[in-house]
């Protein structure tokens, strides 16, 4: 690859861009946060002055932004990515946003001769830092083939899942499953402790059986210890559950368990836990049972 533009150097974007720079790619990145730009420079990339500077002359542009309003502003607004890059450029939006926004970006790109992929990721901050992300990609197969070598720099599971917007639908499905498992693990901990059973020992057993999951593997010890330093914040999962419910409405299907999990996540945000890791759903379940962490 030649020059890469990277827009959005948050907790996920910074390590992703750093991996690309470490792999020898010419990476120009931009973020509103000056500290984030400095981190990219320290990792071997170039801190751009603005979006247009970051993507000037780029063959591939990657965006990693919080939500669809930021994607629309950075990509679609006058002076944004689509105005600043040349026809033939490949834009991979790796943000988690509504499928309809991804489709709109792809259509706007096609009108200008710009290839577009929606490629949201799963794995959280740890996955980004360890170059172990799962990447679900929507768009044309030929464009996926071009982008795949770049995705392999920071991802382990990389799958072309369908046309434009399909990546976002798969990510929505991922988030509803993750939220549901966190909620059930939280309930398991509350039940075990309220019954006088050591929760750590009980979850060790669950992790080795049919109930085993990646969440139990990685998070059971920190949940029992009530350590909720964010890898992925409740605020962001709240946004993602809204995307899942909107996608269900668009597809005209009922997702009753997803609706319940979305309410638990919303409750966590309302209780002031939005900045905590999404495993802090345990605090919500505890409060519903009248049991605070201090009582355990």
Active site members: 171
**E strand or H helix at 142, and its extent?**
helix 141-154
Distance between CA 104 and CA 101 in Å, rounded? 5
Distance between CA 49 and CA 71 in Å, rounded? 18
- Pair 8, 32: CB distance under 8 Å: no
Q: Encoding tokens for residue 4? A: 């890469």
Rg from Cα positions in the chain: 20
The closest of 95, 91, 96, 119 to 106, measured between CA atoms, is 91
> Per DSSP, what are the bridge partners of residue 118?
93, 138
The closest of 195, 207, 203 to 225, measured between CA atoms, is 203
Pairing of strands 90-93, 155-162: unpaired
The closest of 22, 41, 21 to 30, measured between CA atoms, is 41
Query: With the C-alpha atoms ordered 246, 249, 268, 218, is the resulting torsion angle positive or negative?
Result: negative
């Amino acid at each position: 690859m030649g020059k890469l533009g990277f827009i959005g150097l948050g907790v996920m974007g910074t390590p992703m861009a750093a991996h690309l720079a470490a792999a020898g790619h010419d990476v120009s990145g931009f973020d509103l946060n000056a500290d984030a730009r400095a981190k990219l420079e320290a990792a071997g990339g170039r801190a751009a002055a603005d979006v247009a500077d970051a993507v000037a002359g780029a063959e591939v542009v990657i965006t990693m932004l919080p939500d669809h309003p930021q994607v629309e502003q950075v990509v679609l607004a006058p002076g944004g990515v689509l105005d600043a890059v040349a026809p033939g450029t490949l834009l991979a939006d790796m943000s988690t946003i509504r499928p309809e926004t991804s489709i709109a970006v792809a259509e706007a790109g096609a009108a200008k001769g710009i290839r577009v992929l929606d490629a949201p990721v799963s794995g959280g901050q740890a996955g980004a830092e360890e170059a172990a992300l799962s990447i679900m990609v929507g768009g044309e197969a030929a464009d996926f083939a071009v982008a795949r070598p770049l995705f392999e720099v920071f991802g382990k599971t990389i799958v072309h899942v369908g046309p434009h917007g399909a990546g976002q639908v798969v990510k929505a499905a991922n988030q509803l499953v993750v939220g549901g498992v966190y909620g059930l693990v939280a309930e398991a901990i509350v039940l075990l402790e309220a019954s006088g059973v050591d929760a750590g020992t009980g979850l060790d057993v669950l992790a080795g059986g049919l109930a085993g999951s990646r969440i139990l593997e990685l998070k059971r010890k920190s949940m029992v210890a009530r350590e909720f330093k964010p890898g992925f914040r409740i605020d962001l999962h709240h946004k993602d559950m809204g995307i899942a419910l909107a996608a269900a409405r668009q597809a005209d299907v009922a997702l009753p368990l997803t609706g319940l999990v979305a309410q638990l996540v919303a409750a966590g945000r309302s209780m002031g836990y939005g900045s905590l890791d999404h495993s802090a759903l345990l605090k919500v379940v505890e409060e519903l049972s009248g049991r605070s962490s201090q009582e355990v």
